[in-house]
Structure 1
Amino acid sequence: MNIDFPLILTLLTLGTGLVWLVDILFLRRGRLAKVAAGGESPATDEEETDEPYLIELCRSFFPILLIVLILRSFLVEPFQIPSGSMLPTLQVGDFILVNKFAYGVRLPVLRTKILSVGEPKRGDIMVFKYPVDGKTNFIKRVIGVPGDHIRYHNETLYINGKAVPKEYIADLPPYRLFEEHLGKVNHKMYHIPGASDPRADGEWVVPPHEYFMMGDNRDNSDDSRFWGFVPEHLIVGKAFAIWMHMKGWELPSFSRDRLLN
């Protein structure tokens, strides 16, 4: 089941905040009046008696929920890598940090951009919502930006008519390791000899406000070659660091901590 955590967090924050606000504006006076009528005099407003448990709970949790909502909606959000489509750059079980501010400030849940900060660039590792369902988080590398002509043929990537340079490094069965030079970004990538899917070959022109995405594990990646472009409104943010690795029930490891290209 795909749980919409941002929606749940937003509703909890709004709910606890609303209960607290209603208490401050309307309910609290009545409790204080009852205390005064009974001849009691609490030292401070915070020491008032008979505060309902629900209100106490909301008053305690609202500031925490609000801070978490602001941090993960506008600044940084953690994600865990679920598949091997970005090998060798990202491994299954890597925990990454995603900069939510890099491509603009967006409203939580609605994902409406309210402040433009920057645009995705070729070579960025980007988290986005899967265009097919608009809900599942995907992570791939930005290959094409608006206006680019992309061609992929016989395991060779062409951008605007030029083959993207790549250098052979080693055979790591079943993979063949290369370093690809994508503009200013140099990154490792995999090919699997004899496993190229002919359906991956094609040509595309990237429309305005959309992006062409591919995994670094080129022969084992469900990406724009198969389902098309990523619209700007589905962008979540830019992945910038691995901070922990934990696969299954293993103990967490920090040996892979590093910044990403």
Structure 2
Amino acid sequence: MKLFELLLVVLTLASGLILLGEKLYFAKRRAQRAGLLDTEPVMVDYARAFFPVLAIVLVVRSFIAEPYKIPSSSMMPNLLIGDFILVNKFSYGLRLPLNNAKVVPFGEPKRGDVVVFHFPGHSDNDPAKGENFIKRVIGVPGDQIEFQGNGLILNGEPVTYDNKGLYAGHNGQGEGSSLLVEHLPGRTHTVLETDYARGQGQWTVPAGKYLVMGDNRDNSDDGRFWGLLPEENLRGKAFLIWLNCSGWFCKDGFEPSRIGTAIH
């Protein structure tokens, strides 16, 4: 994704600069030297054809909505491997491509939001540092959170759960886990848990940080293990599943029922 973003920015700038140079200098020079019937260079033709498309894609992808594919089971049962999702890029402020710097601040993550972010890494040498991850916001600035025995205690109050029985699984993932409805204040969503609870601990969330967890609680590498998420790492809020397709050309499965599913 980072390579594609870099390539998109470079191609957009290059084609734009070619067109600008053509308009301000090279077209006039050719007209003076060879007359108005002199043909444009092939590079200018390509830039004229591709620049509008590249610019639109860059603007939409950077500031409006960006597609992602779910690669792991950490957000089951709500997001499945092979789900293609859309992420609202202006929910938490407008950010520049490449460096993710916020240029127009507005909106903050709310408890229960499903967010995409640049992984801060377990260490500075973590090869996954900077990659796109997706988790759910559990703690916002000012929260005190305790996670013990697969149960959350939020600001001194235990979070309640409804047990919906055993999860049937999806493509061999999550089968036999307990399916629970978790009632965060003002937000309700499903989670999975097993008999092997992981990630016990306590956290106080300071300003500018968030505690994020996967919905597949015992199969998620999240903030319980690598710490609190800095606000500047946020990419946007996941809001829609637009396709589910596993494997090249959907050879491992296609689930039309998931198309258009809202992410809660």
Deviation of the 1:10 alpha carbon: 1.0
Q: Distance in 1 between matches of 2:239 and 2:2?
A: 25
Q: What amino acid sits opposite 1:144 in the alignment?
A: G
Q: The residue matched to 1:30 in structure 2 has which SS? A: helix
* Alignment-derived partner of residue 93 in structure 1: 82
Q: What amino acid sits opposite 2:51 in the alignment?
A: F
Q: Structure 2 matches for 1:88-237, cutoff 5 A?
A: 88-132=77-121, 134-172=129-167, 173-193=175-195, 195-197=196-198, 200-237=199-236
Deviation of the 1:115 alpha carbon: 1.2
Q: Distance in 1 between matches of 2:33 and 2:160?
A: 78
Name which of structure 1's ranges 109-118 and 234-243 shifts more when overlaid on structure 2.
109-118
**Residues 77 and 190 of structure 2 are in contact (CA less than 8 Å); yes or no, is this contact kept in structure 1?**
yes
Gaps in structure 1 of 5+ consecutive residues: 37-41, 43-47
**Residues 96 and 239 of structure 1 are in contact (CA less than 8 Å); yes or no, is this contact kept in structure 2?**
yes
Q: The residue matched to 2:258 in structure 1 has which SS? A: coil
- 1:101-155 CA-partner distances (Å, limit 9, x unpaired): 1111111112111112210000000000001154200000000001111111111
Q: Distance in 2 between matches of 1:179 and 1:3?
A: 35
Structure exhibiting the larger radius of gyration computed from Cα positions:
1
* Alignment-derived partner of residue 260 in structure 1: 263
Aligned length: 247
Deviation of the 1:216 alpha carbon: 0.3
Q: Distance in 1 between matches of 2:151 and 2:65?
A: 34
Q: The residue matched to 1:11 in structure 2 has which SS? A: helix
Q: What amino acid sits opposite 1:135 in the alignment?
A: G
Q: Distance in 2 between matches of 1:148 and 1:184?
A: 15
**Residues 115 and 235 of structure 2 are in contact (CA less than 8 Å); yes or no, is this contact kept in structure 1?**
yes
* Alignment-derived partner of residue 124 in structure 2: none
Gaps in structure 2 of 5+ consecutive residues: 122-127, 168-174
2:54 to 62, 65, 83: 65
* Alignment-derived partner of residue 45 in structure 1: none
Deviation of the 1:49 alpha carbon: 3.5
Deviation of the 1:3 alpha carbon: 4.5
Which TM-score applies when normalising by structure 1? 0.90
Q: Distance in 2 between matches of 1:116 and 1:127?
A: 17
**Residues 243 and 254 of structure 1 are in contact (CA less than 8 Å); yes or no, is this contact kept in structure 2?**
no
Q: Distance in 2 between matches of 1:26 and 1:14?
A: 18
Q: What amino acid sits opposite 2:4 in the alignment?
A: F
Q: Distance in 2 between matches of 1:73 and 1:217?
A: 29
Q: What amino acid sits opposite 2:102 in the alignment?
A: K
**Residues 99 and 237 of structure 1 are in contact (CA less than 8 Å); yes or no, is this contact kept in structure 2?**
yes
Name which of structure 1's ranges 202-211 and 171-180 shifts more when overlaid on structure 2.
171-180
> Runs (4+) of structure 1 moved beyond 3 Å?
none
**Residues 134 and 234 of structure 1 are in contact (CA less than 8 Å); yes or no, is this contact kept in structure 2?**
no
Which TM-score applies when normalising by structure 2? 0.89
Name which of structure 1's ranges 243-252 and 79-88 shifts more when overlaid on structure 2.
243-252
* Alignment-derived partner of residue 25 in structure 1: 24
Between the two proteins, what is the percent identity of the paired residues? Answer: 45
Q: Distance in 2 between matches of 1:105 and 1:153?
A: 36
